[in-house]
């Protein structure tokens, strides 16, 4: 059986266009007893004025700790409910 929990519901360009560049996914987070807490510490590559990554095209190479927002990762609960990625997956699931 194929695990489709990480299959993009749309093509990659459309998936990335879902982002509203709030920057929250680029701040350090920690999990305490199953609840995600955000710190005030942004990734060193986040331009905090524009909320754009300064190394986006090479982020995997230059920052191996950068987590790509896949459907599986988004469903894991690391992002707030008002994140456009979370809403997109919730809407897609409701449409099924």
Q: How far apart are CA 28 and CA 44, in angstroms?
A: 10
Taking the model in full, what pTM does it have? 0.80
Q: Which burial class, exposed, middle or buried, applies to 74 when counting CB atoms under 10 A from its CB (0-12, 13-18, 19+)?
A: buried
Q: How far apart are CA 34 and CA 69, in angstroms?
A: 19
Q: Where are the domains of the chain?
A: 12-95
Residue 2: predicted pLDDT:
42
Q: How far apart are CA 15 and CA 12, in angstroms?
A: 5
**Residue 83: CB atoms within 10 Å:** 19
Residue 3 has pLDDT above 80, yes or no: no
pLDDT tens-digit readout, 27-82? 999 999 988 999 999 999 999 999 999 999 999 999 999 988 889 999 999 999 99
Residue 5: predicted pLDDT:
59
Residue 1: predicted pLDDT:
42
């Amino acid at each position: 059986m194929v695990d489709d929990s990480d299959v993009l519901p749309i093509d990659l360009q459309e998936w990335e266009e879902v982002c509203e560049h709030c920057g929250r996914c680029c701040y350090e987070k920690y999990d305490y007893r199953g609840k995600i807490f955000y710190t005030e510490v942004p990734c060193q590559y986040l331009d905090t004025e524009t909320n754009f990554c300064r190394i986006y095209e090479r982020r995997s190479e230059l920052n191996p700790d950068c987590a790509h927002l896949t459907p599986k990762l988004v469903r894991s609960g690391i992002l707030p409910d008002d994140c456009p990625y979370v809403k997109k997956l919730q809407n897609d699931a409701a449409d099924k």
